[in-house]
Amino acid sequence: MSDPTDRVERRVFEDHGDVVEAIGRCADAVAAEWDESPTDAAWTTDRDAVVPAFERALDAAGVLAHLPRVLSDLVTATGHPMPAPPVAAPPYVVVTSEGVVLRASLGEERLVVSFDAFRIERGDDVRYVRRDDATAGAGTGRQTASGGVRVRVERR
């Protein structure tokens, strides 16, 4: 039998690749509105230009409402039942400055699936940068990139 984390990762791309792509399109639409980065990868120093705008874009595209069903399916892939019906709000679905996080309790553990569409660069100013295919896979841990979205699956 394969590792539950492997099964979740496979399920994301085999059954929910359209959701990963939609998250990427929403992130692209948000980043297109930033005027601080005319020549390089899209970026902004304004967190409010990321989180609220991204949440609105996800909602308008119908992605936000669909994410609880994705979470339920991913929990099923672990072999555990979903303890309660998830909703498109914390703690199950959270829109952050890096992307979207899905969370569910699995007994003593938690399943955490992150869809990172942005990265944070810390320096004199904090910059929120739209990930691209080259940077989507950067980092450590279990992750796979698609369309400028880094997908991380963890059991904590």
Tens digits of per-residue pLDDT, 26-83?
999 999 999 765 667 788 999 999 999 999 999 999 999 999 999 999 999 999 888 8
Identify the residue whose tokens are 């996080």: 101
- For residue 145, pLDDT over 70 is answered with no
The answer to whether 109 touches 155, Cβ cutoff 8 Å, is yes
Q: How many CB atoms lie within 10 A of CB 103?
A: 18
Provide the pLDDT for residue 140: 44
Q: Enumerate the domain spans of the chain.
A: 4-155
Q: How far apart are CA 10 and CA 144, in angstroms?
A: 10
Q: How confident is the model at residue 147 (pLDDT cuts 50, 70, 90)?
A: confident
pTM of the model: 0.89
